[in-house]
Amino acid sequence: MKIELAVLPGDGVGPEVVAEAVKVLGAVGQRFGHEFNMRYGLVGGASIDQSGTALTAETLHMCQDCHAVLLGAVGGPRWDDPLATVRPEDGLLALRKELRLFANLRPVKVFPMLADSTTIKPEVVKGVDMVVVRELTGGLYFGKPKKRWTTSRGRRAVDSMVYTEKEIERILRVGFEIARRRSKKLVSVDKANVLESSRLWRQIAIELSAEYPDVELEHMLVDACAMRLIQRPADLDVIVTENTFGDILTDEASMLAGSLGMLPSASLAGVPGAGKSITFGMYEPIHGSAPKRAGQNMANPIATILSCAMMLRYSFGLETEAEAVEKAVASVLERGYRTYDIVERGKASIGTREMGDLITTAVRG
């Protein structure tokens, strides 16, 4: 297969973790006979520094010309002034919106050999294997009005949680489809006891469930879900929720896997596996740019490498290749190698490049 891949390393540790993922993809290409043509672009702070905007039309067009996008991370203290008119995060949000990546899949799977490196009791995280389906192009992130102004009685700001029926239905459908292929249980998370948008969400979920009689639908309030995630996480399988709730819940859920540095994500423009079997997508670790760790060969590249496995699966239909990457990661962890974020106290850790090299070698087989 010939694959055109847009690569946007971004800021902070982004370039370091992306470099390792690119190595791994090179090994996948060699072993399975695929050709990856990587086209690099700037996004986030790196783009602001060069052109004053977090995403140029040129980078956006390059992404639109490719089959998929691999992204590192954006942001950092240099661009964090609350009064700044451009922010690195704007680049990421614009990519999500412009590329219509409404479905964000965030699997949370605990590698058994890491059960001891979480801050939660090993018996609680044992067997955790869930996927959070987060709506990615609506809600508070994009709703209008969204502004800050000064009144005679002081400063004010507003963000709006806006959802249309169409937006809610298409993301719920992704949840139902994924649940159908897994445990057939879907938990729809909302705040229907307070928010009008959540009440619409819940109503549409109930209507849609008629089309999925084989899937058991449960509604959960977001605060209860936050509790459930650390109380009995192994009982959860597929969660579907709106943008902001999904953002918060997935950082929380990442702690089950031991580190934010372990969790991959796929942001898709369609329902995975529906109609055309491949879907345009952007793949990125869920962690941020970790500016304090940047340039030190410290960051854990596993989240980005596992994001590439998701890319192979969802954007190219290459299941065997995806599994080869996941197995390579598991085998390196099995042999005891750890980056700083997942190492047990008192034990030695390895760097970003070393972890990337070990996984690359394991992929070669």
- Residues annotated as catalytic (active site), given as ranges: 141, 191, 223, 247, 251
Burial 175-204 (b: 16+ CB within 10 A, else e): bbbbbeeebeebbbbbbbeebebbebbbeb
**For Mg ion, the closer CB: 135 or 247:** 247
Rounded Cα distance between 321 and 61, Å, is 28
Q: Which of 32, 38, 89, 97 binds ligand IPM (CB under 6 A)?
A: 89
Residue 11, contacted partner among ligand IPM, Mg ion, none, CB below 5-8 A by kind: none
252 contacts: CB under 8 Å, gap ≥ 6: 226, 229, 230
Residue 13, contacted partner among ligand IPM, Mg ion, none, CB below 5-8 A by kind: none
Shortest Å distance, C-beta 114 to Mg ion: 21
Q: Would you count residue 220 as binding ligand IPM (CB under 6 A)?
A: no
Positive or negative: CA dihedral 307, 311, 314, 320: negative
Shortest Å distance, C-beta 102 to ligand IPM: 13
Q: Which of 247, 321, 326, 341 binds ligand IPM (CB under 6 A)?
A: 247
Shortest Å distance, C-beta 89 to ligand IPM: 4
Rounded Cα distance between 98 and 180, Å, is 29
Q: Would you count residue 255 as binding ligand IPM (CB under 6 A)?
A: no
**Residues touching Mg ion: how many (CB under 5 A)?**
1
Q: What backbone phi and psi angles, to 5 degrees, belong to 106?
A: -125, 90
**Residues touching ligand IPM: how many (CB under 6 A)?**
6
Q: Which two structure tokens, joined as six digits, stand for 322?
A: 């995806």
Q: Which of 286, 302, 308, 362 binds ligand IPM (CB under 6 A)?
A: 286
Positive or negative: CA dihedral 244, 281, 170, 240: negative
295 contacts: CB under 8 Å, gap ≥ 6: 16
Rounded Cα distance between 159 and 185, Å, is 33
Residue 110, contacted partner among Mg ion, ligand IPM, none, CB below 5-8 A by kind: none
Q: Which of 247, 321, 326, 341 binds Mg ion (CB under 5 A)?
A: 247
**For Mg ion, the closer CB: 251 or 357:** 251
Provide the residue type at 300 as one letter: N
| Interface contacts to ligand IPM, rule CB under 6 A | 75, 89, 92, 247, 286, 288
- Residues making contact with Mg ion (CB under 5 A): 247
